[in-house]
């Protein structure tokens, strides 16, 4: 099973937007994904509840909830058919939690917005992923997603320079688009919206999905390497 963690302690960088849309994309590809919500704000879980019964199924794991009636491992279980788990993480997550949250992840995606504050916060996040979570660049598990990018603005050029300096792949550049706002409101992924509405966004998502496909340890699309158990998840 592929485990994809979306992480950046900076609030509003696009974690939930990426996590929910990625889950929708994987669902559309019949991979029966799970969406694990570690954020006590529960935005990804709320998005899931908005989905219509006809939408491709995404299994929700509200990991932030304190479940009184079931064991923690039962609460966090992923159904056998699931081929991928997308993990949405909270803002302000402390770097001491990075090792447990990223353990066994095939991919750790860091969304970053083009603003000085976000760039600065993301530099610290990347450094903590390398030094605290001990993810090596050479493992190829780390990827950056530039989010809410408006081309040719000064700050987007600054973001490009920052990303060039990191030596970590930029796996997608998402536009600043009302499609993402609609997605958050409707419980639909962009992949489920009319093509005429989302066509400018599709190429970048395809880039992201093909980068993710390359992260699977055995290289096989359907029989994914079993990830290490996500022990002691914070929430
Ligand atoms: N590419 C985008 N274009 C337009 N709005 C976006 C985009 N990405 C995120 N947003 C909006 O920005 C806000 C914060 O995004 P969110 O994914 O919730 O961030 P995080 O989970 O990192 O706190 C949400 O209202 C979301 O709809
Ligand atoms: Mg969020």
- For residue 67, give the CATH number of its domain: 3.40.50.300
Q: List beta partners, residue 142.
A: 108
Flag whether 139 is in a domain.
yes
Nearest CA to ligand 1 atom 16: 14
Question: Taking residues 17-34, what's their average pLDDT?
Answer: 96
pLDDT in tens, 164-214: 898 999 999 999 999 999 999 999 999 999 999 999 999 999 999 999 999
Q: What is the pLDDT of residue 227?
A: 36
Burial of 232 (0-12, 13-18, 19+ CB in 10 A): exposed
Flag whether 13 is in a domain.
yes
Looking at the structure of the chain, the number of domains it has is 1
Flag whether 26 is in a domain.
yes
Ligand 1 neighbour 147 (Cβ under 6 A)? yes
Q: What is the pLDDT of residue 222?
A: 39
**59-61 β-sheet, strand order:** 59-61, 34-37, 84-88, 2-6, 107-112, 142-149, 170-175
Q: List beta partners, residue 203.
A: none
Q: Residue holding tokens 């158990």?
A: 229
Flag whether 84 is in a domain.
yes
Flag whether 229 is in a domain.
no
Q: What is the DSSP letter of 101?
A: H
Nearest CA to ligand 1 atom 20: 12
Is the pLDDT at 233 greater than 80, yes or no? Answer: no
pLDDT in tens, 135-146: 999 999 999 999
Ligand 2 (single-atom ion) residues, CB below 5 Å:
15-16, 43
Per cent of the chain over pLDDT 90 is 77
As a whole number of angstroms, the distance between CA 135 and CA 128 comes to 9
Nearest CA to ligand 1 atom 25: 181
Closest CA to 187 of 49, 60, 53, 56: 49
Enclosing domain of residue 43: 2-213
Is the pLDDT at 216 greater than 90, yes or no? Answer: no
Closest ligand by atom to 200 CA: 1
Closest CA to 36 of 13, 11, 15, 10: 15
Flag whether 225 is in a domain.
no
Flag whether 222 is in a domain.
no
Q: What is the pLDDT of residue 183?
A: 98
Flag whether 108 is in a domain.
yes
pLDDT in tens, 81-102: 999 999 999 999 999 999 999 9
235 confidence band (pLDDT: 50, 70, 90): very low
Average pLDDT over all residues of the chain: 90
């Amino acid at each position: 099973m592929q485990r994809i963690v979306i992480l950046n302690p900076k609030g509003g960088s696009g974690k939930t937007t990426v996590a929910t849309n990625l889950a929708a994309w994987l669902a559309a590809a019949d991979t029966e994904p799970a969406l694990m919500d570690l954020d006590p704000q529960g935005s990804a879980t709320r998005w899931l509840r908005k989905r219509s019964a006809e939408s491709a199924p995404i299994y929700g794991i509200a990991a932030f909830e304190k479940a009184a009636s079931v064991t923690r491992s039962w609460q966090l279980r992923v159904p056998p058919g699931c081929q991928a788990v997308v993990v949405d993480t909270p803002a302000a997550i402390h770097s001491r939690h990075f090792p447990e949250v990223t353990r066994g992840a095939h991919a750790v995606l860091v969304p970053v917005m083009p603003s000085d504050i976000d760039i600065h916060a993301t530099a610290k996040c990347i450094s903590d992923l390398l030094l605290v979570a001990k993810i090596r660049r050479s493992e190829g598990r780390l990827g950056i997603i530039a989010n809410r990018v408006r081309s040719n603005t000064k700050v987007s050029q600054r973001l490009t320079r920052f990303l060039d300096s990191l030596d970590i792949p930029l796996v997608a550049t998402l536009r600043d688009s009302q499609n993402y706002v609609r997605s958050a409101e409707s419980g639909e992924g962009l992949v489920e919206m009319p093509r005429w509405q989302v066509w400018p966004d599709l190429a970048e998502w395809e880039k992201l999905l093909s980068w993710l496909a390359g992260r699977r340890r055995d290289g096989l699309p359907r029989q994914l390497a079993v990830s290490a158990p996500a022990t002691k998840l914070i929430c």
